[in-house]
Amino acid sequence: MQICGIDDAGRGPMLGPLVIAGISLQKKNIKKLSALGVKDSKKLTPKLREQLYKKIIEIVDDYYIAKIPPRSIDASVKKHCLNGLEAKYMAKVVSKLNPDISYVDSCDVNPIRFGKEISKLSDNHKIKSFHRADSRFVVVSAASILAKVTRDKAIMKLRKEYDLGSGYPSDSVTVKFVTKYYKQNNEMPKFVRKSWKPVQKIIDNN
């Protein structure tokens, strides 16, 4: 029995990719993840997440990570369909890993609807969709670690060139960077999500 866990990272920030990650392994090996100390990535330090990332990859039978660029995010937000974009990529993970059952962290207010959407897009695979699945199921926690580490690496790469803070709209360093860049270049960098309200506000004010 192949069990899959899927989660995202980077849905809220105004820059960088949205990352979707999935892992799959035999049901009997799930306790190996718990034994490692795998839990929701938000409850772990960056250093611990990186160490667990390597160990998770060794334990699981397969994994798949997709990075969704800001231009795709913007196109979906324009159509009011960001959840649809996540469902599409989660279905891609399911199709790649081809498990018997997948547990996903729902970004939709209606987890059942979200699960049905993924199932439809992945050739009717069996999907269990829940809120806070990353803290309820260790397979989803493992996926959340893979997603978070991948997202953090993408941001660290950008940080080598730019002083852009955490990427969150609540971070004054991020807002300052985006505002300054736009004023100087009269356009947004490719890695900024132009559809985010705080970004649109910056464009409107300048």
pLDDT digits (tens, 9 = 90+) for 58-92: 999 999 999 999 999 999 999 999 999 999 999 99
| pLDDT above 70 coverage of the chain, percent | 100
Question: Distance between CA 168 and CA 175 in Å, rounded?
Answer: 8
Confidence band, pLDDT 50/70/90 cuts, at residue 206: confident
Which tokens in the block code for residue 169?
Answer: 């709209």
User: Could you tell me the pTM of the whole model?
Assistant: 0.95
Which tokens in the block code for residue 15?
Answer: 């820059």
| Helix, strand, coil share (%) of the chain residues, nearest 5 | 55, 15, 30
Name the CATH superfamily for 161-205.
Ribonuclease hii. Domain 2 (1.10.10.460)
CATH entry 3.30.420.10 includes domain 2-158: yes
Helix or strand (DSSP H, E) at 15: none
| Per-residue pLDDT reduced to its tens digit, 108-149 | 999 999 999 999 999 999 999 999 999 999 999 999 999 999
Mean pLDDT of the chain: 96
Where do the structural domains in the chain lie, given as residue ranges?
Answer: 2-158, 161-205
